[in-house]
Amino acid sequence: MMHYSSWLIGVKNRASLRNACKTPPNTDWNNNRGHALDTKNNNPQHKDKTCEQTVPNHLWKKGYKIIKKIGAGTFSEVVKTQSLKDGKFYACKTMKQTINSLEQANNLREVQAMKRLSPHANIIQLHELIFDKETGTVSLICELMEMNLYELIQGRQTPLPEQTVKHYMYQLCKSLEHMHSCGIFHRDVKPENILIRQNVLKLGDFGSCRSVYSKPPHTEYISTRWYRAPECLLTDGYYSLKMDIWSTGCVFFEIMSLNPLFSGANELDQIAKIHDVLGTPDQSILQKFKQSRAMHFNFLPRKGTGISRLIPNCPAPALSLLYQMLAYDPDERITAETAIRHTYFRDLRLAEKKADSLHRVTGAIGGVESSAMHSSMDHICRPTKLGKQLRGRHTRQTPLMSHTKHAAEPLIRRNIPHYPTELPKLNMVLPRPQIPFPVSTMPAFPATHRGTLPSITTKKCQSQLAKPRDESHRAAFKTFYMPPLDRKRGGY
């Protein structure tokens, strides 16, 4: 029986011999931080020179001016550009891989992921895709950020403030929750891919992302080694979106302590460092991994030192969340949605909820006030405007105007103040000796009746203390009356 350690050493040696001639010295700082993706170009230096020559030409044709080079990776390079149209600055990521058509460029996994995840406050936004037919070069114009998380903590002597760490981790968990709910997991969460601008954190670099619904086995050598989950190290590509949570836990520890948690020199050393801190897992957990591994592996029982000893000043809620993110078994690992609701982020959730409710109330009040002001001004100026609008307006638009008028009237009655010129209401109940009601002053309203029905005098026109003028008038009330009306279908 071949032990896992011997098998892994053999794989590592073969991989080193296979890629010795391909890996250039000092390609970039990602390789020095446990990067596991090997360079696939025969001559990367020549490729970089070719890329540097072609990038300015096709970007200039599209109206972008290159300011400076920001960074370079294995499969792409990033430059700072300025749009000649609006003068805004952007980050341009140019792929070193050539593409045959624009349709193929739009079908790239990274492009599809950015389009699906946009817009979100914690996801890098894609501004434009530029494809050059002559060279087959694809460039992604994205929003420009100030720095990444690694550059923020690099060289710091004092830890970041506790509230700043909490704010960053909350945004990172929200970005992962959005990604996983959209059916995508990142597979390469690390400080270099977490970008910051004015305390706003955004997740970027979706070149390694994969669909949640894709069936394993996946690519084995994925993610950066220091942030690679145990299921990625111990299985033949049988992992899921929970690997992003493990990487997030490693990032969480690093921004609190300013040091990486598991800085393994190779895959075997990476597993040993994980066991040094978390201890050797139970056989039941290892049995899950053995089901998808052709070779058997056995580990010596080891009790880990624990994370709390490495960061003794860590608050208890943060330590609780960290342990749940770094659960060895992916089935017991916390999800991004549950992590957002953790006690550690309680004050941020309450502040966010309060700000949202205040924004809704302010927006509602502002909308009512603006509509009321518009309605009141429209009510005051309606005769003049209505006359001008009706002249030359098509008759088919009249129902819309009528509907708008009736819809605005209740708002007008509520919000328009009473002006001094408004007539007061008449008080019809008056003492007889002081103000006798003159009957002769009431104008006569001619009414034509069919038949012998006499006119009926309303009681509103005489005082409560006044008596009928004669008995004939009283007899008229006794003789004639209005018959009751029948209700038909709920109306009169």
Known catalytic residue: 188?
A: yes
SS3 396: helix
Q: Return phi, psi of residue 461, to 5°.
A: -95, 5
User: Are the beta carbons of 223 and 217 closer than 8 angstroms?
Assistant: no
Tokens of 187: 């597979």
∠ CA 406-408-413, nearest 5°, is 105
The answer on whether 354 is annotated among ligand-binding residues is no
Residue-wise DSSP of 2-60: --HHHHHHHHHHHHHHHHTTTS-TT--TTGGGT--PPP--S-HHHHHHHHHHHHHHHHH
Report the distance separating Cα 91 and Cα 93, nearest Å: 7
Containing 137, the helix (H) or strand (E) segment is strand 137-143
Catalytically annotated residue among 28, 132, 188, 486: 188
Q: Calculate the alpha carbon distances from 454 to 411, 461, 470 in Å.
A: 43, 17, 16
Name the β-bridge partners of 147.
196
Residue 136 Ramachandran class (φ > 0 left, ψ -120 to 50 alpha, else beta): left
Annotated binding-site ranges: 93
Annotated binding-site ranges for ATP: 93
State the catalytic residues.
Answer: 188
